[in-house]
Structure 1
Amino acid sequence: MKLTQSIFSAYYSAKNSVENFVKRQDGVTAIEYAIVAAGVAAVVVVLFQSDGEFAKAMKAIFKRLGDQLDTLLKPSSTGAGTGTGGTA
């Protein structure tokens, strides 16, 4: 009788463990996030390659912005618009 009880106890313990393992979603969610992160990382690497089209376009945009800022911030040679009014 005691042996039968131990067998049933072990059976139900194993059954509960397997059911709990199947019901838990933590591992599945972590794997899904890892797959998504790997996909995003691959897209970022492709987009930001040093000789890629996206990188060339970004460099061109920032070069144009820098040139425009240089033009705007360059001091004028006439002295007009400095706000000093020519008096000391």
Structure 2
Amino acid sequence: MLNRVYDKYLAAYTCVAGCIHDFKRNEKGVTAVEYAIVIAGVAAVVSVVFGTGGSVQTTLTSVFSAVTTKVTNLVNN
């Protein structure tokens, strides 16, 4: 009787140990999490650089205004 109990215990232990080992080695989804972190970082940088009142926005606005003015003057003349 004790042999059967021990055999079942050993089988259960082996199964649980194998599952834990497999779980630790499983890397599915890790790449997706890494990409999500990178995308969040890029989004944060883009929002800071192109945010309202930022130097990039001011520069782009002035460049586009100058181009618009020059094109309008060329078309009207």
Question: Which category of TM-score, normalised to the shorter sequence, fits these structures?
Answer: 0.7 to 0.9
With structure 2 as the length reference, what TM-score do the two structures score?
0.81
AA aligned opposite 1:10:
A
Unaligned runs of 5+ in 1: 77-88
Higher relative contact order (CA 8 A, sep 6+): 2
Which residue number corresponds to residue 57 of structure 1?
A: 59
Identity %: 32
Aligned residues: CA RMSD = 1.5
User: After TM superposition, which residue ranges in structure 1, 4 or more long, deviate above 4 angstroms?
Assistant: none
2:8 to 6, 9, 31: 6
With structure 1 as the length reference, what TM-score do the two structures score?
0.73
Unaligned runs of 5+ in 2: none
Counterpart CA distance in 1 for 2:22 and 2:28 is 11
1:27-82 deviations in Å (ceiling 9; x for gaps): 322221121111111101101111110110111111122112212322x4xxxxxx
Bigger Rg, structure 1 or 2: 1
Q: Secondary structure at the match of 1:67?
A: helix
How many residue pairs are counted as aligned between the two chains? 75
